[in-house]
Amino acid sequence: MPLKTAEELWRELEKSLDMNSLDVPQAVKVRLGDRMSDPVPWTFTHSDLTSCNIMVDSTAYELTGIIDWERSGYFPVW
């Protein structure tokens, strides 16, 4: 689900704290939310950039491509 604001991001993060049986107390969620840094600028990120996803021409030693983009997207700068 695309998020547009820091508030939407926090609501989604808070939902994930409620799921997974973490039993995070509300006071802890409030404190964490108050300390979250601003996600702006949203940054386009590959999210799985490892050596196995970087294609290089072995004779010219040049980058020829980057593969495996299914987890890419705009994410908080942090």
Tell me the pLDDT tens digit for each residue of 11-58.
888 888 877 667 788 898 889 888 888 888 889 999 999 999 999 999
Q: Is 68 exposed, middle or buried (0-12, 13-18, 19+ CB in 10 A)?
A: middle
Q: What pLDDT score was predicted for residue 20? A: 65
Q: What pLDDT score was predicted for residue 1? A: 62
